[in-house]
Amino acid sequence: MSKFQAKLSDIARVIRTSKIWKSIFRHSYQDTPRNRALMVLSNVFLHLHPVKVRPASLRYRYTWGLGGLSFYLFLSLTLTGVLLMFYYRPTIEHAYWDMKDLRFVVPFGPFLRNMHRWSAHVMVLLVMFHMASVFYRSAYKPPREYNWVVGVILLLITFLLSFTGYLLPWDQLAIWAVTVGTNMAANSPILGSEGPFSIVTPDMDARFILLGSKIVGQSGLLRFYVLHCVFLPLIFIILVSVHLWRVRKDEFSAIPLPPEEERRKGVLPEEWVKKHPEALQEKVFTWPNLVSREFVALLAITAILVIWSVFGHAPLEELANPNKTPNPSKAPWYFVGLQELLVYFDPWMAGVVLPTLILVGLIAIPYLDINPTGVGYYNFKNRKFATGIFTYGLVLWFGLIFIGYYMRGPGWELYLPWEKWDHFRPTSQIGLHNMPNWLGLVFLLGYGALGMLIPKIFFKDFYKSLGPIKYLVVMFLVLVMFFVPVKIVLRNVLKIKYIVSFPDFNLNI
């Protein structure tokens, strides 16, 4: 050891034995089992993890890291968001020009804004994928039902966070997307001034509560700003704490998979685990096994987003102009599927009733699905009905988004994704007619009655295992889901606009 090194280690020893150092770092860094445990136990952030986990939890093809990455994106969005707040004024005089300043003169301004924008899109996508992966590996089944509910609410808040942020640049894209969204609120049944059975006027309805005005203007911008920067993140933090805490309390769901030859014989992992309880007991230290993998995953997604943000600029269209409606005006991509439904349903259905049913349906899943199979691994075979319906829902959701986003042009006319838009093409929505109301009512009642009865008659076990109440709820939700393609066919093939129509009550289906 040279003199210099000796000197250095002397200094290091002094530092490491000092009161200040020891007050912060409670244990040494030597690689001992004790320190591995302490690494997690004595760190408030890493303490989200248990000290030891089952090796099955380390399989990246189990969670794909989607939950953790979503949370990480929330944190990084908070960071870029706070930095953006230093340069942004939520007033209609300044908001748009502050965007231009960020783009052209603020140091690292374009990077900051791009990073915030792209991370937000990716977060919305990852949260949706996270939900899908949780569904397919039955991680919502007992004892984790309640955490699924919290997760669905977090998904809703993620949408709202992204949607409120969409308005802030105050360009044409922003105000018209938000106009589309908030006009749906005005079409809520009862509480929207334009919805069925309305009891309110336009200056006190649901849209007015959101915007503080009948149209998207200064008060709406301020409300969305406060919701985006303060209220929704606060709610998100509270709920995500509950969500993570419950994950910690209920443990990671992953269970060890049986060996290859057993699996080929058709042995289910939960049966195999019962016979081999020792496999379930096997655990490894979280530090470094899990923490290092999480770190690399974060690094990888950060790298992807940074590359995207260096080369791809966040959109900024013309200054918002309430007198100039772009054609088409599209909602943010994750709501474009609902906007696409506006072709087939009145706004109170597409914008209020169906989204509410989607949320209620998602929340109800753990309480309706009584099949205990499949917890802790991907299982499609033994839960065909559940995965089939859920997959159908996902395909419908993303399919409608794809059509709405890539295949709709001026006048919401159908175009192929590579086709050039023609602003002067005349409308194709001609020759539509309504079903006579008496026939429509018979049709609706027939659809409902047959839909309820046929599975009961042909799948007796299905009905028996669910019991009458759960059966009614499940079949109601399923029938609503299949009502969407029914209306698509009725409109496009048979040219029927409404099945029943009561214009006096704004009630059309």
- Give the CA distances from residue 82 to residues 93, 117, 159, in Å, rounded to whole numbers and listed in that order: 21, 13, 19
Is residue 414 classed as helix, strand or coil in its secondary structure?
A: strand
Q: Which of 32, 292, 356, 492 binds another protein (CB under 8 A)?
A: 292
Q: Report the distance separating Cα 168 and Cα 272, nearest Å.
A: 54
- HSE toward the beta carbon, residue 59, CA cutoff 13 A: 14
Q: Report the distance separating Cα 239 and Cα 151, nearest Å.
A: 8
- The yes or no reply on residue 93 touching another protein (CB under 8 A) is yes
- The yes or no reply on residue 306 touching another protein (CB under 8 A) is yes
CA angle 225, 83, 173 (to 5 degrees): 45
Site string for another protein, 149-178 (x = CB under 8 A): ----------------------xx------
- The yes or no reply on residue 317 touching another protein (CB under 8 A) is yes
- The yes or no reply on residue 429 touching another protein (CB under 8 A) is no
Q: Which range in 187-195, 419-427, 464-472, 484-492 contacts another protein by CB under 8 A? A: 419-427
Q: What is the DSSP letter of 502?
A: E
Site string for another protein, 47-86 (x = CB under 8 A): -------------xx-------------------------
Min CB(426)–another protein separation in Å: 6
Min CB(133)–another protein separation in Å: 17
Min CB(143)–another protein separation in Å: 29
Distance of CA 137 to the CA centre of its chain: 18
Q: Are 311 and 158 in contact (CB under 8 A)?
A: no
Min CB(79)–another protein separation in Å: 15
232-271: contacts with another protein (CB under 8 A):
none
Closest to another protein by CB, 68 or 196: 68
Q: Which of 9, 18, 42, 327 binds another protein (CB under 8 A)?
A: 327
Q: Which range in 311-319, 345-353, 360-368, 464-472 contacts another protein by CB under 8 A? A: 311-319
Q: Which of 326, 409, 411, 448 binds another protein (CB under 8 A)?
A: 326
- The yes or no reply on residue 437 touching another protein (CB under 8 A) is no
> Which pairing describes strands 52-53 and 284-285: parallel, antiparallel, or unpaired?
antiparallel
Closest to another protein by CB, 91 or 501: 91
Alpha helices, DSSP H only, in 198-320? 206-211, 218-226, 232-250, 260-264, 269-275, 277-281, 286-311
Residue 90: φ, ψ to 5°: -80, 55
**What residue type is 164 in one-letter code?**
T
Q: Are 508 and 432 in contact (CB under 8 A)?
A: no
Q: Report the distance separating Cα 28 and Cα 21, nearest Å.
A: 11
Q: Which range in 24-32, 159-167, 297-305, 475-483 contacts another protein by CB under 8 A? A: 297-305
Q: Are 196 and 186 in contact (CB under 8 A)?
A: no
- The yes or no reply on residue 300 touching another protein (CB under 8 A) is yes
Q: What is the DSSP letter of 52?
A: E
Instruction: Give the relative orientation of helices 460-492 and 437-458 as an angle to the nearest 10 degrees.
Output: 150
Largest separation between any pair of C-alpha atoms in the chain: 100
Min CB(264)–another protein separation in Å: 22
Q: Which of 10, 282, 318, 419 binds another protein (CB under 8 A)?
A: 318
Interface size with another protein, residues (CB under 8 A): 38
- The yes or no reply on residue 296 touching another protein (CB under 8 A) is yes
- The yes or no reply on residue 16 touching another protein (CB under 8 A) is no
Q: Report the distance separating Cα 265 and Cα 198, nearest Å.
A: 60
- The yes or no reply on residue 422 touching another protein (CB under 8 A) is yes
By the criterion CB under 8 A, which residues form the site for another protein? 60-61, 93, 97, 100-101, 103-105, 107-108, 111, 171-172, 292-293, 296, 299-300, 302-303, 306-307, 310, 316-319, 321, 323-324, 326-327, 420, 422-424, 426
